[in-house]
Amino acid sequence: MSRIDELIAAMTVDEKIGQLVMVSLGAETIVTGPGAAHEPSVEEVREGRIGSVLNLVGRDRIRALQRIAVEESRLGIPLLFGLDVVHGYFTDAPVPLGETAAFRPDLWEATARLAAEEACDEAIALTFAPMIDLARDPRWGRIVEGPGEDAHVGSVFARAKVRGFQGPDLAHPQALAATAKHFAAYGAVTAGRDYASVDVSERTLHEVYLPAFAAAVDEGCAAIMPAFVDLAGRPMSGDRGYLTDLVRRRWGFEGIYVSDYDAVGELVAHGVAADMAEAAARALDAGMDLDMMSPAYPKALKPALERGLVAMTALDAAVARVLRLKERLGLFEAPHARGAATSPRPRPRPERRALVRAVAAASLTLLANRDRVLPLATTGGPIALIGPFATTAEEMIGPWSGLGDQEITVTLAEGIAAAFPDRRITVTAGVAGEGDDGSGIAAAVAAAEAAEVVLLAIGEPARLSGEAASRARPGLTGRQADLARAVLATGKPVVVLLACGRPLTEAWLYEQAAATLVLWYPGSEGGNAVGDVLSGRANPSGRLPVSWPVDIGQIPVFYGERPTGRPFDPNEHFTTRYVDMPNAPLFPFGHGLSYTEFALSDPTVAAATFRAGETVTVSTELANTGSVAGATTVFLFLTDPVASTSRPLLELKRFETVELAAGAKRRLDFTLATADFACLGADLVARAEPGAFWLSVGFSADRKALKTVAVRLEAEPALV
Ligand code: BGC
């Protein structure tokens, strides 16, 4: 018998249920959800009633609790310790949406590895990341946690993160089990309101929201967290069709499902379970393994089994999966391997700081740069750094920064001062990020008037971004717009440094400012990275992973629209349009400026036709035609002008970020498999349909600026 079979044979029902219970335990834990209905105690660990713990931090405390589980519980089964290590543990990289803007899968992987090393050294074994919910609605605060609007980007991001967190061997003491979350389509909550119902078509689910999860599973992610929400009336946390039939059976997922916080118990509120016992039974039957923080499994699974609502075999199967993950993590052999270091709490090492600084610099996204106001000369007149985020650490590390250390976070004021040692810099808040106190605006105007150039550090307070932070008006908060107007009125060139977790709809500001640099929330080294870009030491190369709306009224606006029978025609009234604003976003997906210029040649293909099973290679030459070195991202889109179902006008198939010296050129080859041409038929089965396809290369999803080549998939000769 295997160890797992032996354990299951030896376990009482209470001990089995215990293996499925995940609670937060410990006095000063991080709080990531509503108050616990279940009050856990260390005694329950001893009794084998708790198998996993979240939000307990500090390796000594974790190791002490692990010792109780291993040495004092009847079967000595180790605990699994989980935490939201989202974009860092101590040393924070940019928030995921910002990091996506770098379009650098190698960096996405490297920062996950860094986070895993720091978290594992603090005795954590499981992270609730990567969050790979695509989002096309910036009203939803959690857009900050994910990779933006595109399914291909989401899939590449998911793979890079799973690889980075887990490494090649889960048993390694610095391997962190990854959780792909939140399965699925959580980013499509109604009207962008967090936790609200989701209703997207099966087609959109399969085309847009599922691919990143399928990629994570294919990459071997250890866990999946089903979303809180229902999908067209089917709450994901209790849905056997999705969790077991689709993901386990069809995709071959072998890891565990960990519920979202209280989501199993919330099946009652969803109206699909009459009481906790029904909720527990439904979730277990669906395939949910760990119940995080709800009373359902700990209090009501036993009565559910006794009432015959769910079979004991389902319990055993879930327990086996959880034990299997603990085994793969090496917890039975070496329960204290993670966190074994005896050194005092590590200070971020220089190479870690260098990595997150480089990633932050690569993620900063330059939306506009009139008259080439940026980069700023390192000598010259005074610089006025104005705005509520000039000196705050929160708006550098963002809303879900783990234990991101604010003390070691470099603020804008610090980073900019370091980048411009020979220029006088004044720092004035002007207003706070929230509230209606405008009394500091006059001082800010005076500071602007005394300066040669203004750096305006404004945006969205980190507190208003993230979970439970939906905003009906995603724009500047408090009196920041008044501050911006007053400073702009001085006539000084104003460079907006926009800290935000989502596109902020302030078109007037981006039109009037001399330049706008989106910082996102850039992480522990944010201030230095901004200094690098402002001074030209780094050339900005961030590209928008989401379309940036002109106005709230356009939401959702995304590049992957389907064609309409009445495409927009300015000369024809009865075409698709708003009468009061443009259809196009203010800045398209992929937009971002550089201090140099790039050009692409017309793409070519080796052969104009191909057959099923063959590959197609699209080639183009990228040239840096400007006068400084820089990096840009080249996107390859596919269009299928005629298919059995109407396909989006553009589908991203590949992207590559390339660094080139001034004047240098490089040939890029993108190879596509037949499957890359496939679409879902009316039956939702993927097929590559014969006919013409257009392959377009460009620097963004602005269709007017793309360069296109056509290829044809030949029909198979008829069998005679
Ligand atoms: C969030 C999850 C998170 C969990 C545990 C929930 O509120 O939705 O993303 O992993 O808390 O902290």
Which stretch of DSSP H or E encloses residue 319? helix 312-328
Q: Which pLDDT value is given to residue 345? A: 61
What average pLDDT score do residues 460-481 get?
Answer: 98
User: Residue 401 is encoded by which pair of tokens?
Assistant: 């920064």
What is d(CA 108, CA 97) in angstroms, rounded to the nearest whole number?
11
Q: Which atom of ligand 1 is found nearest the CA of 181?
A: 9
User: CB of 84 within 8 A of CB of 49?
Assistant: no
Q: Which residues contact 145 (CB under 8 A, 6 or more apart)?
A: 86, 95, 96, 97, 131, 133, 400, 466, 467
The pLDDT of residue 28 is 59
Phi, psi of 305 (to 5 degrees): -65, -40
Residue 39 has a pLDDT of 61
Q: What is the pLDDT of residue 403?
A: 74
Instruction: Give the contacts of 250 (CB within 8 A, at least 6 positions apart).
Output: none
Structure-token pair, residue 218: 């294919």
- Tell me, what DSSP letter sits at residue 680? E
Show the DSSP H helices in 76-129 as ranges: 96-100, 105-121
Q: What's the whole-number mean pLDDT along residues 291-314?
A: 98
Cα gap 643→3, rounded to integer Å: 53
How close are the terminal C-alpha atoms of the chain, in Å? 56
Atom 10 (ligand 1): residue with closest C-alpha? 128
Report residue 366 CA to chain centroid gap: 20
DSSP class per residue in 511-573 = HHSSEEEEEES--TTHHHHHHHHHHTSS------SS-B-SSGGG-S--S-PPP-SS---TT-S
Report d(CA 314, CA 285) in Å as an integer.
6
Query: Could you confirm whether 260 is annotated as catalytic?
Result: yes
| CA 32 / ligand 1 centre spacing (Å) | 6
> CA-CA distance, 135 to 95, in Å (whole number)?
15
CA distance 706 to 623: 16
pTM for the whole structure: 0.98
Distance 261 CA to ligand 1 centre (A): 6
- Joined together, the tokens standing for residue 309 give 């609502």
Which of 32, 132, 179, 400 is the pocket-test mutation for ligand 1 (most atoms within 8 Å of CB)? 32
H/E element, 45: helix 42-46
Which atom belonging to ligand 1 lies closest to the Cα atom of 179?
A: 10
Please tell me whether the peptide bond between 182 and the residue prior to it is cis, using omega within 30 degrees of 0: yes
Question: What tokens appear for 428 in the block?
Answer: 């004035």
**Average pLDDT score over residue span 256-273:** 98
Burial class (CB in 10 A: 0-12, 13-18, 19+), 70: middle
Q: Are strands 21-24 and 52-54 parallel, antiparallel or unpaired?
A: parallel
Write down the catalytic residue from 239, 260, 289, 532.
260
User: In this predicted model, what pLDDT tens digit does every residue of 33-72 receive, in sequence order?
Assistant: 876 545 678 999 999 999 999 999 999 999 999 999 999 9
Strands 604-605 and 515-520, by their bridges, are: unpaired
CB within 8 Å of 576: residues ≥ 6 apart: 564, 566, 567, 568, 583
- Write the CA distances from 612 to 293, 709, 715, integer angstroms: 50, 19, 8
User: Residue 400 above 90 pLDDT?
Assistant: no
Residue 619: enclosing H or E segment and its boundaries? strand 616-624
State the maximum Cα–Cα separation within the chain, in Å, rounded to a whole number: 85
Please tell me the distance between residue 22's alpha carbon and the centre of ligand 1 in angstroms: 12
Distance 281 CA to ligand 1 centre (A): 22
From 261, 293, 401, mutation site for ligand 1 pocket: most ligand atoms within 8 A of C-beta: 261
Average of pLDDT values for 693-700?
98
pLDDT per position as a tens digit, 615-671: 999 999 999 999 999 999 999 999 999 999 999 999 999 999 999 999 999 999 999
What is the model's pLDDT at position 410? 97
Q: How many residues in total does the chain contain?
A: 720
**Strands 383-386 and 425-428, bridge-based pairing:** parallel
Could you tell me whether strands 453-459 and 234-235 are parallel, antiparallel, or unpaired per DSSP bridges?
A: unpaired
Phi-psi domain of 451 (left: phi exceeds 0; alpha: psi -120 through 50; beta: other): beta
- C-alpha to C-alpha distance for 454 and 488, rounded to whole angstroms: 9
Rounded to the nearest angstrom, the distance between the alpha carbon of 610 and the centre of ligand 1 is 47
Nearest ligand 1 atom to the CA of 83 is 12
Closest-CA residue to 516 (of 527, 537, 500):
500
Q: Check residue 405 and give its pLDDT.
A: 75
Instruction: Specify the amino acid at residue 455.
Output: L
| Mutation to probe ligand 1, out of 128, 257, 264 (largest number of atoms < 8 A from CB) | 128
> Could you give the CA distance from residue 402 to residue 29 in angstroms, rounded to a whole number?
11
Q: In the structure encoding, which two tokens stand for residue 174, read together?
A: 């610095």
Q: How confident is the model at residue 614 (pLDDT cuts 50, 70, 90)?
A: very high
The average pLDDT across 121-125 equals: 96
Q: How far apart are CA 194 and CA 498, in angstroms?
A: 24
202 confidence band (pLDDT: 50, 70, 90)? very high
Q: For position 373, what pLDDT does the model report?
A: 98
Pocket residues: Cβ below 6 A from ligand 1:
32-33, 54, 84, 128, 181, 260-261, 467
- Give the burial class of 640: count Cβ atoms within 10 A of its Cβ; 0-12 exposed, 13-18 middle, 19 or more buried: buried
Confidence (pLDDT) at 37: 47
Whether the per-residue pLDDT at 406 is higher than 80: the answer is no
pLDDT tens string 530-546? 999 999 999 999 999 99
In 304-398, the DSSP E strands lie at 365-369, 383-386
| φ, ψ for residue 153, nearest 5 deg | -60, -45
pLDDT in tens, 20-42: 999 998 655 577 787 654 567 89
Q: Which atom of ligand 1 is nearest the CA belonging to 33?
A: 7
Per-residue DSSP letter, 657: E
Q: What is the Cα–Cα distance from 462 to 464, expressed in whole angstroms? A: 5
Do β-strands 616-624 and 604-605 pair in parallel, antiparallel, or remain unpaired?
Answer: antiparallel
Q: Which atom of ligand 1 is nearest to 145's Cα?
A: 9
Q: Is 13 helix (H, G, I), strand (E, B) or coil?
A: helix
Residue 349 DSSP symbol: P
- The Å distance, Cα 267 to ligand 1 centre, comes to 16
Looking at ligand 1, which residue's alpha carbon is closest to its atom 8?
260
Residue 361, H or E segment: helix 350-363
